[in-house]
Amino acid sequence: MPADSEVFDSHLEAWDEYLTTPWARIRYDVVAHVLDETIAGLCPGPLRVLDLGGGDGVDSIRLAAAGHEVTIVDQAPGMLERARANSARRGCTDRVRTIESDILGWRPDRTYDLVLCHFVLPYLDKGEGQRRMWRLLHQAVEPDGAASVTSTNPVSEVLSAVHRDGDAELALRRFDGQAAYAGMFHHEIHSPRREDVEQTAVAAGFEVTRRIGLRVAVDLLPDGPAKHDPGAYPAILRLEFALAEEKPYLDIARAWQLLLHRLPAQTRSG
Ligand SMILES: C[S@@+](CC[C@H](N)C(=O)[O-])C[C@H]1O[C@@H](n2cnc3c(N)ncnc32)[C@H](O)[C@@H]1O
Is residue 107 a part of any domain in this protein?
Answer: yes
Is residue 115 a part of any domain in this protein?
Answer: yes
Residue nearest to atom 27 of ligand 1 (CA): 55
Give me the percent of the chain exceeding a pLDDT of 90.
83
pLDDT band (50, 70, 90) for residue 181: confident
Residue-wise pLDDT for 113-156, tens only, equals 999 999 999 999 888 999 999 999 999 999 999 999 999 999 99
Average pLDDT for 45-56: 97
Residue nearest to atom 24 of ligand 1 (CA): 53
Is residue 23 a part of any domain in this protein?
Answer: yes
Is residue 159 a part of any domain in this protein?
Answer: no
Give the number of the atom of ligand 1 that is nearest the alpha carbon of residue 59.
Answer: 9
The reported pLDDT for the residue numbered 146 is 97
Is residue 175 a part of any domain in this protein?
Answer: no
pLDDT above 60 for 270: no
224: left (phi over 0), alpha (psi -120 to 50) or beta: left
Output the domain CATH number for residue 215: 3.40.50.150
- With a Cβ cut-off of 6 Å, ligand 1 is lined by 2-3, 5, 8, 53-55, 58-59, 74-76, 79, 102-104, 118-120, 123
Contact call for residues 179 and 229 (beta carbons, < 8 A): no
The reported pLDDT for the residue numbered 266 is 60
Span of 15-19, 31-35, 85-89, 110-114 with lowest mean pLDDT: 15-19
Is residue 174 a part of any domain in this protein?
Answer: no
- CA of 168 relative to ligand 1 center, distance in Å: 31
Is residue 164 a part of any domain in this protein?
Answer: no
Average pLDDT for 163-167: 92
- Which domain range does residue 195 map to? 5-147+182-265
Residues 245 and 174: their CA atoms lie apart, in Å, by 25
The reported pLDDT for the residue numbered 31 is 98
Domain count for the chain, please give it.
Answer: 1
With H, G, I as helix, E, B as strand and everything else as coil, classify residue 151.
Answer: strand
Is residue 163 a part of any domain in this protein?
Answer: no
